[in-house]
Structures are given as structure tokens and as C-alpha cells.
Structure 1
Amino acid sequence: MTHAQVFTQELLPTPSQLAISDEATVTLHQYFAALVRERRRSPGDDPVSQWLRTWDELEPDRDRADEAVYYLALLVVLAALETTSNLLSTMAWLIAEHPRQMGWLRAHPQDIPGAVEEVLRYDPPIHVVTRVAGDDMTLAGIDVPKDETVHLMLAAANHDPAQYADPHIFDIRRKVGHLSFGGGIHYCVGAPLARMEATALLTALLRKLPGLSVHRDPQWAPRVAFRRMTTLTVSDSASARVPEQAGPRDL
């Protein structure tokens, strides 16, 4: 359901994609609205019950509190599943496609967190975020009137040659940050969990699949904002595929 729902957040969704998203939204609404009603009747120690207790202290209107918790639960699931699953699959692909860097990480596991950051920079789970201007403003010399929709290209910013040397090269040794988790009041609250999950997965892949290689090029869903790999065929055999020529900064 989450794969279908996020079409509505795409840069230029087609009518058919919007229809798919609308159908998924109805199903998700039914599920999470029922979940909130159930936790309201029988609260426990789960996050939804805790959110209800918090919102009851902030919002005297019970219906509005329930609505706020519904949207929060929906947002957490959409944001966590879509972005983290995409990060993990992209990471497996990029690491397997760079066998020398993969070998370095096996010998230097302390560098795994840095490799996760390079994956986030090189091909982030979300390439585009959308904002609406609250006031008239000028951004990078461009006048943006109030209420104008602005699409921010995070992936392009992460490949800015003014900020990164050879930005087109995947290099786990980079020490420069990225914008993949946003910034300011919009900084991703799930960033620490996503980093922890990615670090755990990469650590396990390096340990359990010593001959990990990509068997054929991955396939991608027709999306721009929320990246999604639909197929990634790998093999645990060093001879499954001859790796491409290493880049000048490839370890």
C-alpha cells in the first residue's frame, strides 16, 4: 500500500498514478483510523496509545486529537517504510558494484557508517521535496512569490561540484555531509534509526555474503521523488559478474 500511496507525492504524477494513490490512501485510512479507535478503546504501551495520551493533553477536542494521531501514524509508516527500504536496497547495489570498496569495508568495519553516508549522498531515498513559500522571497537570485510551490532537488544538491570533489564518483571515504535528511525544522526525525538499520544491514551483508555481486542491472519504479528499486538480482559468487573498471578514487 505504501508503494502505491506515495505516487501522490511525486514531482509530476500521471492521472493513473494519482488514481492508484487515491485507492491506496482509502485503504490506509481505513486501517489506521480503525487502529486509532482500537487504541482509544483499549490503550497500551504502544506508540499509538502514547500519542493519544499526549494529544489528549494538548487538544481538548477528542475527534481532533484522534485525527492528529491518525495522520502521525500514517506519516511514520509512509516515511519509514518507503525511505528506509529504498536506502537499504540502494546501499546493497552500490556496495556490490564497487568490490574494492566492499573489500575495504570488510577489513575496516569502523568505516561502515561513513559508507552509509556516502550512499545517502550519492543516491538518496528521496530526490525531491516540495515546499510552499510562506512569504515573498528571493532564493539564489530567483524571486519566489508567497504561496508559490517550490521543488527542492536534494539529489542535485548532493552532486553539486562546488561542494563535492568528483561528485559523480561513489567514494566511501568522503567526509563531507549531505542534505538527504533535510534540515532545520524539517530534519528527518527518523535519521538515527535509518542510519542504525543501514549500518546493521551492511555489516551483516559483508559478513555473510563474502562473494556478493550484482548479477544484472537493477530495475526502478517510474518515480522521481521517492526512489524505489523493484528488482535487484545478486549472487554470492565472486565470479558471477566481472566488475566494471574501478574509478580513479575507487579503493
Structure 2
Amino acid sequence: MGDLVPAPWGGYLVTGYDACNQVLRGRHWLVPDFAWQDRQTETERWHAVATQEMSGTLSRLNAPEHTRQRHSLGNLFDRRTLQDMAPDIEADVTALLDRLAERIRVDGVADLSALVSERLPINTVGRWLDIAPEDYAHILEITHNQVHAQELLPSKSQLAISEEATLHLRRYFTDLVQGRRKNPGDDVVSGWIRTWDALESDREVTDRIVYQLTMFVTIASLETTATMLSTLVWSLLRSPGSWEGLRARPEHIDGAIEEALRYDPPIRLNSRVAGEDTEVAGVFVPKDTMVHVMYGAANHDPRRNPDPQVFDILRKGSHIAFGGGAHYCLGAGLAKLEARILLGQLLRRFPTLRAAAPPEYAPRMVFHRVTSLRVTA
């Protein structure tokens, strides 16, 4: 249908790999921030509580504020940080797979998504931010509900669910920041408070920014990583010979992770708006027009990845599963580390692992959340 396809509700779907890259990396392409939202006639969605709350986070900020906040974080997950985190992730994976093995032993089948994929990211990020483990289940639940507002065309009922979850998230993370303000430590959040205290004279501004950063980093890392882990395993199990082949050649684990991200990305699309009159794939796009970058379609562009419907862990292809440009995913390195450790242990401990049923998905378009993946061994 072309690299730029008109959407029925207005704007365009961007499908080609090069066209998507152009939009993601182009300095004249913006995220739909407060200024853009204020210019829209469809006020109900853009003025919804959940939408407004997320619009204050990194994902909806443009330069110069996005640049300022991103620079304040530095390289969140550099090589040394990941090396320091790896032993705890290894221990977490071991404990989670112990539970998976026990459930399979007792029941014959177990839900990998519920028992492992959803637990590992919240354990990892929760420990990194020094969040109380007894709060993990609550954070997971409200995160699942909050992301409705980030869908392509959320309904009124979805926005209502998202609003309630957003208010819970606001209370939780505001209290968390206030607690670190009163009792600072060596944790990440206390470090962010010190950084922003040096940048801002107003502590209320500092605390709001740190709240938004903490909340965003937490929820941004949960659903996406969990789905990435489940789809990685599913892609290998459904591809004949892949599981056995990877067990024999574990040096290809990184290739399998990249191919799973290309083949079935956890986020299917992301939206941008034209900051000025421009052109994409030979099509004139007026200023303020919204386009939807179709990650999955781009990753399956045969001009970039020949035979894109074939899952091939030796492909060494290209993908944009983590976005690109100024808004490239902050947690890409951490997500791949979790996947690498989980897959390595799964291959060693479950040589005959197989899917008992295809995965089940939440009815969404943006976040391709796996709600269940039943496996046996």
C-alpha cells in the first residue's frame, strides 16, 4: 500500500523501514506534547487525566526540556551498571524458574508469562529504585491499567480505567519521592533529587520532575520487557529446530533476542507530529499532522530484511523495536540483559520445553501485551 498510508481517522501510517527511520530520527519530527495537544479540536482524549499526566514525562517532551531531562539521567544502564545488576538478575531468574519447574511438575503445565516474564522486570527495576517488594504486585496491576491512555484510539471506558490507575501511580510515586527527600540514601531516586536540586532553585519543581522520571522509568520498563521475554520464548518454540539449535549453539542467544525483537516487537507503533511542512516517501505532510510509526511493519520490510516472515536467529538483520533518535529507549540494554540471562537459564534447565498453547494477548494495538503463555516440559 506504500510507505505512507492515509489513516481512516486522519494522519498517516508510516510502514517502510527507511521512512520510519526518517521520522524517528528527524529533528523536525516531534512527539505530541502539551503545545500540540492544545491546538487539537478533539479535547476529550488529549485533556484526559491519564494523557495529561503522561505528557509531562520524557516520552511526551520535546527539546529543550527533553534534552535537559535526558542529559540529567546520563547513561542509565551503562556497561558497569549492567555488570553490577547481572548477579541479582541471575538469582531472580533462578528463583522464578524454580517456581516454573515446580508448577510444571505438579500441574503438567505452567504460565511462563505470569510466573516469570512479568515478575522479572518488576523485580529488576524495583530493586534498582529501592521499591518495597511488597508493592510490586500493586505497581504491576496499575501499570497494566494505565497504559490504556497510551493506546492509539482509547475508548471512554479505557480512559476512565487509565485515569483511576494514573491517580494511584501519582500517589504512590509522589509519596516515594517525598520519602527519599526526607530520608535520602545512595539509591537512584535520591541521586536524582540531588541532581535536580542543583539544577532547580524550586524544590517543588525538582520533586515533580523526579516523580515523573521515576514513574515513567518504572512503567515504561514493565509491560514492554515482559512481553519481549514471552515473545522471545514463543518465537523460538514455534520455529522448528530453533530451541534445540540454540541449546547446541548458545553463542547465538544475542542473535535470537534481536531477531525476536524484529519479528514481534512488544510495541507495535508510536506517534509523531510534523514540526513543520515536510515530505515523507514523496508525500507532502503539513505541519502538525500526526503520523504513526509502524514498528512491526518496518521490521518486516523485505527491502531491509529479506524473507521477513521467516524467524531466523542467524539473520543479523535490522529492527527499530526500541525506537530511534532522541527518544530511543533508555532501558534497551537492561531489557536485553534480562532476556539474555533468562534465555540462557531456560535453555540449560528446560531442554524439552514446549508451548502447551499459543500465547494470549490483551486486546491492544500499541502495547502488544502477552497475558498468558502456557508451557510444559
TM-score (norm 2): 0.61
**Secondary structure of the equivalent of 2:241?**
helix
**Match of residue 301, structure 2, among 160, 169, 182:** 160
Residue range with higher mean Cα deviation, 113-122 or 135-144? 135-144
**Secondary structure of the equivalent of 2:345?**
helix
**Secondary structure of the equivalent of 1:72?**
helix
Q: CA deviation at 1:227?
A: 1.0
Matching residue of 1:211: 352
The correspondence of residues 159-198 of structure 1 with structure 2, limited to 5 A, is 159-198=300-339
- Is residue 24 of structure 1 aligned with residue 198 of structure 2? no
1:116-170 deviation per Cα after TM superposition (whole angstroms, max 9, x unaligned):
0000000011111112222221111222222222211111100001111110111
Give the letter aligned to residue 140 of structure 1: A
- C-alpha separation in 1, matches of 2:302 and 2:155: 32
Unaligned runs of 5+ in 1: 237-251
- C-alpha separation in 2, matches of 1:230 and 1:134: 37
- Is residue 15 of structure 1 aligned with residue 156 of structure 2? yes
Aligned residues, how many? 236
Matching residue of 2:191: 50
**Match of residue 281, structure 2, among 106, 128, 140:** 140
- Is residue 125 of structure 1 aligned with residue 266 of structure 2? yes
Matching residue of 1:90: 231
Give the letter aligned to residue 72 of structure 1: L
Q: CA deviation at 1:99?
A: 4.1
Give the letter aligned to residue 165 of structure 1: P
Give the letter aligned to residue 202 of structure 2: D
Q: CA deviation at 1:201?
A: 0.7
Q: CA deviation at 1:28?
A: 0.4
**Structure possessing the higher relative contact order (Cα contacts under 8 Å, 6 or more residues apart):** 2
- C-alpha separation in 2, matches of 1:96 and 1:19: 38
Give the letter aligned to residue 216 of structure 1: A
Matching residue of 2:292: 151
- Which structure shows the higher helix fraction? 2
Computed over aligned residues only, the root mean square deviation of the Cα atoms, in angstroms, reads 1.0
Residue range with higher mean Cα deviation, 155-164 or 127-136? 127-136
Q: CA deviation at 1:218?
A: 1.4
- Is residue 228 of structure 1 aligned with residue 369 of structure 2? yes
- C-alpha separation in 2, matches of 1:84 and 1:227: 11
**Secondary structure of the equivalent of 1:234?**
strand
Give the letter aligned to residue 4 of structure 1: N
Matching residue of 2:211: 70
Q: CA deviation at 1:17?
A: 1.2
Give the letter aligned to residue 80 of structure 1: S
Q: CA deviation at 1:41?
A: 0.9
Give yes or no for contact 2:304–2:318 (8 Å, CA) kept in 1. Answer: no
**Secondary structure of the equivalent of 1:132?**
strand
Matching residue of 1:101: 242
- C-alpha separation in 1, matches of 2:362 and 2:340: 25
Give the letter aligned to residue 267 of structure 2: I
- C-alpha separation in 2, matches of 1:138 and 1:56: 42
- C-alpha separation in 2, matches of 1:224 and 1:100: 30
**Secondary structure of the equivalent of 2:259?**
helix
- C-alpha separation in 2, matches of 1:82 and 1:146: 32
**Secondary structure of the equivalent of 1:151?**
strand
